[in-house]
Amino acid sequence: MGFRPGNFALYEQAFRHNSYVNQKFPDEEGVLSNERLEYLGDAVLDLVVAEVLFLSYPNKGEGFLTETRAKIVSRAMLGDLAVKMGLDEMIQYGKGLGNNKQVMRSLSGNALEALLGAIYLDKGYSFTRDYILKRVLKNYLDIHELALLEVNFKSRLIEWSQKMKKEIQFDLAEEKIKGRSKIYVMSVKIDGLELGRGEEFSKKKAEQEAARIACIHLQIITS
């Protein structure tokens, strides 16, 4: 990571998924998963990204800043960043989860947030801010390119289904609580067959993520 951790236990906890804790330590108290660190890291990441965008785009309004931040901290983007960083290879998780690539990408994104929470507790905000800027965003993400990216995967999928005379349906599959926020899990089905699921803090964005996964499955897009 480019630095020596102070409190190693925090970093071990950051990569310990709840499924692993439940299977390995069902009766033992004090063996914590990474959920609380994930909550903290999510808040720190939001603040850092908001500050970067605020300073980088002085002439842009709140709507642009909010939308661009949402792209950067989306479940899909964090999962991709975490895999690029190799964090997926460090997660402790329960049996069976490793066979599902989509689940592992989600676990990896959560672990990235938990790692940032651990760094914050161990090193403080300024250190964590520099780590996010120099080690994460600078190495793995082009913010300016992402800010200009406008991709409507749902529209592309609907257009494809109409062309191929297929029936398309978006459904709310699940609702989760993360901290004080609600996460929506939306599924998309083509002719009754589920081809993608997405989870986000709004139904609209969750639909976009589900549509993106379906577009990859149907080879409408490559990635």
Residue-level pLDDT at 223: 60
Distant-in-sequence, close-in-space partners of 49: CB < 8 Å, separation ≥ 6: 69, 72, 73, 132, 137
Structural domain harbouring 133: 8-148
**Is 0.75 topped by the overall pTM?**
no
Distant-in-sequence, close-in-space partners of 67: CB < 8 Å, separation ≥ 6: none
Residue-level pLDDT at 65: 85
CB neighbour class for 100 (10 Å; exposed up to 12, middle 13-18, buried from 19): exposed
Hey, which residues does 186 pair with through a beta bridge?
172, 198
Q: Rounded to an integer, what distance in angstroms lies between the CA atom of residue 83 and that of residue 77?
A: 10
Say yes or no: 49 and 98 in one domain. yes
- Residue 7 pLDDT exceeds 80: yes
- Catalytic annotation, pick one of 42, 88, 199, 200: 42
Task: Report residue 222's pLDDT band, with 50, 70 and 90 as the boundaries.
Answer: low
Provide mean pLDDT across the span 39-68.
91
- Catalytic annotation, pick one of 113, 199, 200, 209: 113
Say yes or no: 22 and 127 in one domain. yes
Q: What Å distances lie between residue 14 and 17, 24, 96, 217, CA to CA?
A: 8, 16, 20, 31
88 located within any domain: yes
At 13, the amino acid letter reads: Q
Say yes or no: 168 and 191 in one domain. yes
Give the helix/strand (H/E) hosting 193. Answer: strand 193-200
The model's pLDDT over 75-127, given as tens digits with 9 standing for 90+, comes to: 888 999 999 999 999 999 988 777 777 788 889 999 999 999 999 999 999 99
Q: Establish whether 80 is a catalytic residue.
A: no
104 located within any domain: yes
Q: Establish whether 113 is a catalytic residue.
A: yes
Q: Which of 145-154, 165-174, 210-219 has the lowest mean pLDDT?
A: 145-154
The model's pLDDT over 167-212, given as tens digits with 9 standing for 90+, comes to: 999 999 999 887 777 889 999 999 999 999 999 888 988 998 899 8
Q: Rounded to an integer, what distance in angstroms lies between the CA atom of residue 81 and that of residue 186?
A: 22
